Amino acid sequence: MGAVVGTLTMQTRQRQPSRDKVDDELEMTMVCHRPEGLEQLEAQTNFTKQELQVLYRGFKNECPSGVVNEETFKHIYAQFFPHGDASTYAHYLFNAFDTRNNGSIKFEDFVMGLSTLLRGTVREKLEWTFYLYDINRDGFINKEEMTEIVRAIYDMMGKYTYPALKGDVPKQHVDAFFEKMDKNKDGVVTLEEFVLACQEDENMMRSMQLFENVM
Q: Which of 120, 140, 173 is the last residue of a domain?
A: 120
Q: Note whether 154 and 111 are same-domain residues.
A: no
The C-alpha angle 7, 9, 10, rounded to 5 degrees, equals 65
Question: How many domains in the chain?
Answer: 2
- Tell me what pLDDT residue 22 has: 44
Confidence (pLDDT) at 35: 61
Written as one letter, the residue type at 63 is C
Domain-embedded: residue 21 = no
- Rounded distance between C-alpha atoms, residue 149 and residue 152, angstroms: 5
Q: Are residues 60 and 91 in the same domain?
A: yes
CB 48 within 8 A of CB 42: yes
Where would I find the H helices in the chain? 2-10, 17-28, 38-44, 49-62, 70-78, 87-97, 107-119, 122-133, 143-157, 169-181, 191-200, 202-213
Return the CATH number at 106: 1.10.238.10
Domain holding 199, by residue range, is 122-214
Q: 208 and 128 in one domain?
A: yes
Neighbours of 155 (CB within 10 A): 19
> Other C-beta atoms within 10 Å of 55: how many?
23
132, 190: one domain: yes
Q: What pLDDT, on the 0 to 100 scale, is given for residue 80?
A: 87
- How far apart are alpha carbons 86 and 27 in whole angstroms? 31
In a domain, 151, yes or no: yes
Same domain assignment for residues 116 and 172: no
Flag whether 13 is in a domain: no
In DSSP terms, which residues pair with 68 in a beta bridge?
105
- Amino acid sitting at position 156: M
Same domain, 86 and 104: yes
Residue type at 106 in one-letter notation: K
Residue 6 has a pLDDT of 47
Say what the pLDDT of residue 4 is: 43
Identify whether 33 is part of a domain: no
Q: From first to last of the 215 residues of the chain, give the pLDDT tens digit.
A: 444 444 443 333 334 444 455 455 444 444 455 566 888 999 999 999 999 999 999 999 888 998 999 999 999 889 888 888 999 999 999 999 999 999 999 999 999 999 999 999 999 999 999 999 999 999 999 999 999 998 898 888 876 565 555 567 788 889 999 999 999 999 999 999 999 999 998 888 777 665 555 55
CA distance 6 to 169: 31
Query: Do 91 and 153 fall within a single domain?
Result: no
